[in-house]
Structure 1
Amino acid sequence: MMKEKISFQELLKHKSLILILVLVIFYLVGIIGLTSSWREDFLPLSFMNLMISFIVLLLALKNHSLRFYTFVFAGFSIGMIAEWIGVHTGLLFGNYVYGNNLGPLWYGVPLIIGVNWVMLTIISGSIAEIFSIHWFFKAVIGTFLMLLLDLLIEPIAIQSDYWVWSGDIPFSNFVGWFLIAFVIQLVYFSMRLGEQNKVATVLYFLQIVFFLILNIVL
């Protein structure tokens, strides 16, 4: 019994390392799958990959207060409403529709997209939290970090049937992305939820590397 207790304590001690290892494995498998002849079989698993990433992130975070989950609900709602407006009116981002590889839809918007807005806010915010500056400027830094990710994601999204534009990617997409990201970042940091977290920071850079490699290879 004592051995089991010690083992569990050791496991908790190395929790961040284990969670990082899980993420590295999943993203490595994703890169291999999406750049191989199995690509079409792997694409529908994108929903699962994002969901697992979010769950791993939640496991890594220290703050699980009601205030934090209020933010999760708010960030999810802002993201979903913005995407609904975008899909149905062409405002905010431009004219686009979602494809079939991001899981269940809510009025034309994949539910995982709302989750992704929250996740990107937290992992970008983890890096911004490094700086000893006012929370407003942390929100600005987090927003630019999210915009960098969008620049890498867009070309891959089109090739992967995540979403499709009516023409070329419009500049309004990046303006809209920046504005919505900034709103969610403001909510996040104004609620004093910024947290430096190794797993969150690694997840951000894993996504950078993941989409950078796909942009080069595909």
Structure 2
Amino acid sequence: MKSIELSQKYHQYKSLVLILILVIFYLVGIVGLTSSFREDFLPLSFMNLLISFIVLLLALKNHSLRFYTFVVAGFSIGMVAEWIGVHTGLLFGNYIYGNNLGPILYGVPLIIGINWVMLTIISGSIAERFKIHWFLKAVLGTFLMLFLDLLIEPIAIISDYWTWSGDIPFSNFVGWFMIAFVIQLLYFSMKLGEQNTVATVLYILQFVFFLILNIVL
């Protein structure tokens, strides 16, 4: 019984520490991107996403082969979809990536593939809290991802994350929904849904982060 209590306290304190790390990084990000040092902070955006993903992995309880199979599959689906989008204009519309998202492979920043996986997991952590069929959880998780994209798009354009040839097309949101739904279906069909406090807080932090930037910038 004592060992169980110690394990619970360990996971509780671990979650608090990881949440604190995320809060600090996102606060620094908000201050930096809304200050006169904005241009210096923008190239560090991919580092913020990478650190967020690492913290998320540390917080998750499931580190099975099945989970990492999903990570590789989700990353690959996201990267292939983005490659198609960048080089053909299909799925999302005509756009190109800028220089503030780190290393680029065939026109697509590697962090974008990671971000597809991260957004799936943090949106899925909220959907997992509902006692509904896993298919409906995938649908809910997809809408949560789409909701974040609505906030991200305006900031991405003014931050040189990516650029559209004209206004943001409606096809972008349709394409985003389709790809997000495919990855969410994979996630929940593999029974990987996890009610994780850190993951849920990360979703909320991203929502608040981009909402504030939309208001201030």
Alignment TM-score > 0.5, same fold: yes
Identity %: 86
Counterpart CA distance in 2 for 1:95 and 1:9 is: 49
Aligned residue number for residue 160 of structure 2: 161
Does residue 34 of the first structure (1) align with residue 33 of the second (2)?
Answer: yes
Question: CA RMSD, aligned part only?
Answer: 1.4
Cα deviation per residue 1:19-48 (whole Å; 9 max; x = unaligned)?
000000000000000000000000000010
- Structure 1 SS opposite 2:100: coil
Aligned residue number for residue 125 of structure 2: 126
Moved more, 194-203 or 8-17: 8-17
* Runs of 4 or more above 2 Å deviation: 8-13
Q: Please give the TM-score of this superposition, normalised by the length of structure 1.
A: 0.95
Instruction: Number of aligned residue pairs: give it.
Output: 212
Supply the AA of the counterpart residue of 2:56: L
Aligned residue number for residue 137 of structure 2: 138
Aligned residue number for residue 4 of structure 1: none
Q: Please give the TM-score of this superposition, normalised by the length of structure 2.
A: 0.96
Counterpart CA distance in 1 for 2:81 and 2:196 is: 28
Aligned residue number for residue 83 of structure 2: 84
Supply the AA of the counterpart residue of 2:166: G
Deviation at 1:50, TM superposition (A): 0.2
Structure 1 stretches of 5 or more lacking a match?
1-7
Counterpart CA distance in 2 for 1:47 and 1:203 is: 16
Counterpart CA distance in 2 for 1:15 and 1:196 is: 15
Supply the AA of the counterpart residue of 2:108: V
- Map of 1:130-209 to 2, 5 A cutoff? 130-209=129-208
Deviation at 1:9, TM superposition (A): 9.7
Counterpart CA distance in 1 for 2:8 and 2:129 is: 28
Deviation at 1:12, TM superposition (A): 5.0
- Structure 1 SS opposite 2:163: strand
Counterpart CA distance in 1 for 2:116 and 2:186 is: 12
Counterpart CA distance in 2 for 1:166 and 1:121 is: 27
Counterpart CA distance in 2 for 1:208 and 1:66 is: 30
